[in-house]
Structure 1
Amino acid sequence: MATMTIKGKEMRSVEVDWNEFYYTNCPLISPSNVDQEIGWVKEELKKIGVAYKYLRSTVENDWYPHYVHNLDNLMRYGGCGPAIHTQADIRRTKLIGTTHVYEGGCMLVRSRDDIYRMTDLKGKRIGLSRSMNVIKNDWWRFQEEQGIELMLRMNGMTRDDVEIVDFPYPDDWYDKPEMLTPMENPSELWLKRDIKHDLGFRPLEMPLLEGKIDAIYTQSKVFQHLQEQTSKVKAIENLANYPDWTLQGANVPATMTVSDVACQEHPEIIVAMMKAMIKVGRWSNEHKHAAAVILNKGTYYLDAEDTYNGIKHVDMVPTLSPYNLEALQINKDFMLSHGYIENDFDVFEWAAPEFLEKAAAELAAEEWEIKESLKNSPILA
């Protein structure tokens, strides 16, 4: 077992064995979250003699590689906050793919309050959560703060017009014994935690309903529809309604990252993984309803149909487009300016498109070879 200490906390992981490669997913929209059910990456890696495993499939790994990437043979696909934090302050990684899906964020208030627009919040209290877990990036707070500031600005207001109220919460489920038993698949986590109703993922909802604050940030569509269906809250502002794409943050684009060590020592693993991710993404694009049913198991949309409506215009094939990279740069700059990371870096230099490009070229060549072989196959008597 390998160990690593960050801020006095000892984290554990398996010793690196390049005959196996681990993955970890955030509960959001990505081809990896579809693949965890259909297993095409596992098939592709098996061709080169590498076993593909979920991070928590072995007791030797705890949860923290998902946040600080303290495991060389690991791929993480998830929200951009932890990935940016890792690259800035903890260790070198490579950005090998992104998926952009969520829109901005909403401002929620109690449904029966006499509040209908942002200017009605002048002099009132807006909640801001604060994770007490000092090891991992406070990804929820960073997007709350970013979204709040943007919504205020779009309505001619500043932080001086409202009272920002801090709400610390333990954020300590990572070390609970029941959460440390091995799981073969990320979906098992959501069997242990009811993702659609677990308020551990919505730390400000109860303070709002209890009247301790007057408004909170939430993600557009994601979380929003779940919360509105309680009938207790309503949205008075939504950044997704603006044409300005630079307002569409919310801890995304989702980032696919691997260690620099893996890229240097075993690029063939990364290319094989990307070939499968391209295939999964294409399948998801062609079968959006089917993909939505899979993704609904591990996302915060209301249900499968709501998930479909959330992804129907999303390109599920990983990309490193300038649009997505600049969106990440915007989030990174906010995190730096507000103290969520200590060191700066260039997102465009972080990106490593060579693996995606090589995977796409190899996949195209393989598909062409299959088609040609079928054309030239002898007619069976």
Structure 2
Amino acid sequence: MTENVSSTVPLDWSEVYYTNCPLVSASNVDQELGWTREEFKKIGVQYAFLRSRRENNWYPHYIHNLDNLIRFGGLFPPVHVHADLRRTVLLGATHAPHEGGCMLVRARDDIYRMTDLRGKKIGLTKSLNTIKNDWWRIQEEQGIELMLRMNGMTRDDVEIVEFPYPDDWYDKPEMLDPMDNPSELWLKRDHKHDLAFRPLETSLENGTVDAIYTQSKPFQHLQEETGKFKAIEDLSRYPDWTLQVANIPAVITCTTEMAEQHPELVVAFMKGMIKVGRWANDNKRAAAVILNRQTFYADVDDTYEGIKHIDMVPNFSPKNMASVEIGKDFMLSHGYIKNDFDVSEWAAPEFLEQAAKQLLEEEWARLTLEKVGTAETLGIEHVRVG
């Protein structure tokens, strides 16, 4: 696998590539609307999905080894990149504040509370892919520890069983065929029922372990609908918002090279995210139809219920930034990153501010021309003021 790490197109600043995770974000809505691509067209830049070129493999999504790439996705990989691999810039965040994580057990087992798990086995995955960040394990470990703590327990009260797995779907030939849109990936995979995304589910079903971590709402509902599993704990049900950091908030990052050398590219992307985010906020059911194609909610209605209270416009709210820091601190304390950093210094709100300012100015100019008119539209050869 290591041979393919640097598989990227040659750097060309007239091109910008995007990549996103299958979660709630304006980018996952925009990949169907194409509004961000329009912003780049205005400045003569080609905007395309990372995997639309065969030369780009999947790894830039995880290690950001492509200077002209903008990523919108789960929190843990970009924290790892910024801490240990290369400096990036944090451009905004979108939080799903009620998806902290669940503890799943077999539906017919005589287990109804976390305390019933004393002395029993809880699974914990371990990716054997050493190139990328083990983001799924991080949220499992974080969620398991939090659920134990909320019930007066520690890891010493249960048996944590590790499950190494290849985590190598990125390198399969069929996954390396070019695709113009991230949605095309799911045409190749039934992602809502693909157990590659839920590697411990089989071990729970066959009794190798007694419980596993799963994401609140998205994966949880799919798994419960099988009739085989039930959740006995759910961090999303607690009023404590600091429990809701399971690879979220979703964050936008770009390289420092892009931010410093070509800020106009960053602003163009953020303009698209603001426009799409506003549209999604105003049209949540339509946005749910789009997001259902890529996320792990059970269906369109379930997706709508999951996103209806989420602000789809990326922001730097104090709670979002505190949530980013909670995730980063957990990774540092458990050895998932080697180096610490200041989240406030990582954040660069000036790009979001500039994008919002440009959109306001453009909207004002459009409304002024429509309502007031110009000498040309009014058929007046010369207008004298004063």
Aligned partner of 2:347 in structure 1 is 351
Aligned partner of 2:83 in structure 1 is 88
- Tell me the distance in 2 between the aligned counterparts of 1:241 and 1:10: 40
Aligned partner of 2:31 in structure 1 is 36
Moved more, 267-276 or 105-114: 267-276
What is the SS of the residue equivalent to 1:12? Answer: coil
Q: State yes or no: 1:183 paired with 2:179.
A: yes
Residue 167 of structure 1 aligns to which amino acid in structure 2? F
- Tell me the distance in 2 between the aligned counterparts of 1:276 and 1:220: 29
What is the SS of the residue equivalent to 1:41? Answer: helix
Aligned partner of 1:3 in structure 2 is none
What is the SS of the residue equivalent to 1:298? Answer: coil
- Tell me the distance in 2 between the aligned counterparts of 1:278 and 1:288: 15
Residue 322 of structure 2 aligns to which amino acid in structure 1? E
- Tell me the distance in 2 between the aligned counterparts of 1:363 and 1:203: 44
Aligned partner of 2:136 in structure 1 is 140
Aligned partner of 2:48 in structure 1 is 53
Paired residues of 2:18 and 2:48 also in contact (CA < 8 A): yes
What is the SS of the residue equivalent to 1:257? Answer: strand
Aligned partner of 1:370 in structure 2 is 366
Q: Deviations over 1:13-57 (max 9, x none)?
A: 011101110000100000000000000000000000000000000
Q: CA RMSD in A?
A: 1.3
TM-score by length of 2: 0.96
Residues 245, 139 of structure 1: CA spacing in aligned structure 2 closer, same or farther, 3 A cutoff?
A: same
Paired residues of 2:4 and 2:57 also in contact (CA < 8 A): no
Aligned partner of 1:292 in structure 2 is 288
Paired residues of 2:138 and 2:331 also in contact (CA < 8 A): yes
- Tell me the distance in 1 between the aligned counterparts of 2:5 and 2:273: 33
What is the SS of the residue equivalent to 1:21? Answer: strand
Residue 102 of structure 2 aligns to which amino acid in structure 1? C
Q: Deviations over 1:273-322 (max 9, x none)?
A: 11111000000000000000000000000001100000000000011111
**Which of 212, 228, 235 is equivalent to 2:231?**
235
Moved more, 319-328 or 306-315: 319-328
**Which of 69, 72, 78 is equivalent to 2:73?**
78
Deviation at 1:371, TM superposition (A): 1.2
What is the SS of the residue equivalent to 1:13? Answer: coil
Residue 236 of structure 1 aligns to which amino acid in structure 2? I
Q: Deviations over 1:39-82 (max 9, x none)?
A: 00000000000000000001110000000000000011110010
Q: Percent identity?
A: 68
Matches within 5 A, 1:118-267: 118-267=114-263
**Which of 275, 280, 283 is equivalent to 1:279?**
275
Deviation at 1:7, TM superposition (A): 6.5
Residue 37 of structure 2 aligns to which amino acid in structure 1? K
TM-score by length of 1: 0.97
Deviation at 1:11, TM superposition (A): 2.6
Where does the alignment leave 5 or more consecutive residues of structure 1 unmatched? 1-5
Deviation at 1:10, TM superposition (A): 3.9
Residue 80 of structure 1 aligns to which amino acid in structure 2? L
Residue 215 of structure 2 aligns to which amino acid in structure 1? Q
Q: Deviations over 1:224-259 (max 9, x none)?
A: 000000000000000011110000011000011000
Aligned length: 376
- Tell me the distance in 2 between the aligned counterparts of 1:10 and 1:171: 15
Deviation at 1:366, TM superposition (A): 1.0
Moved more, 114-123 or 102-111: 102-111
Q: Deviations over 1:102-135 (max 9, x none)?
A: 5200000000000000000000000001101011
Residue 161 of structure 2 aligns to which amino acid in structure 1? V
- Tell me the distance in 1 between the aligned counterparts of 2:266 and 2:4: 30
Paired residues of 2:101 and 2:234 also in contact (CA < 8 A): yes
Residue 183 of structure 2 aligns to which amino acid in structure 1? S
- Tell me the distance in 1 between the aligned counterparts of 2:131 and 2:284: 37
Structure 1 runs, 4 residues or longer, greater than 4 Å off: 6-9, 378-381
What is the SS of the residue equivalent to 1:11? Answer: coil
Aligned partner of 2:7 in structure 1 is 12
- Tell me the distance in 2 between the aligned counterparts of 1:259 and 1:13: 15
Residue 219 of structure 1 aligns to which amino acid in structure 2? Q
Residue 60 of structure 1 aligns to which amino acid in structure 2? E
- Tell me the distance in 2 between the aligned counterparts of 1:312 and 1:44: 27
Aligned partner of 2:319 in structure 1 is 323
Deviation at 1:222, TM superposition (A): 1.1
- Tell me the distance in 1 between the aligned counterparts of 2:31 and 2:5: 28
- Tell me the distance in 2 between the aligned counterparts of 1:99 and 1:282: 13
